[in-house]
Amino acid sequence: MRVPRLSTQRARTVALLAIAGLVLAALPAHAQSHPVVPGRSIGLFHLGDSVDTVSEMLGPPLPPALLPQAMLSYHWPLRHLGALVDVVTRKIVALSGSDDAGYRTAAGLGVGSSPNAIRAAYGYAETVDYGDGAIVLVYDRTGVAFLIDRSAGKGDRVSTVFVFAGGKYRDVFPVTALAGHR
């Protein structure tokens, strides 16, 4: 039985595709994309989803913390993903993506972006919250906020992106939970 031989060019193409597939499969989580859609979603997870849906896809989170505004805070540290969940409805009311350069808006803004890049795209923040070496640039009508971590050597770059329903920032993140605001 005669086995057909691949042409040299075709063999190279097949080898390159195989190597590219292996490289893509080996990429760390931070090199993969988790699109941030203000007011709607981060990656595959949407506001209004059940926390159980997220847990089915990502595995169990760390034990939740009960917050004063009757919400549970869940965190999947290996995915750098967090969710605030209403205790009554068990639905997600806010999502956060942190310390992963893959968390980006369609305009390319997210973890690692500078405050100037955020302002260039969204204008001046509607609200700025301050606390413990960090500031949060809040775009409430849009449903997105960017935490600029000035401690821990982050170099005044975004370390966390928050997504929430437009106009609901203070419902989800009450001022009493923050050190100060403007």
Q: E strand or H helix at 24, and its extent? A: helix 8-26
- CA distances in angstroms from 151 to 46, 68, 103, 140, 158, listed in the order given: 30, 26, 20, 25, 12
pLDDT in tens, the chain (182 residues): 555 554 555 444 433 333 333 333 333 343 357 899 999 999 999 999 998 988 898 888 988 998 888 899 999 998 899 999 999 999 999 999 988 888 899 989 999 899 999 999 999 999 999 888 889 999 999 999 999 987 766 578 899 999 999 999 999 988 644 444 44
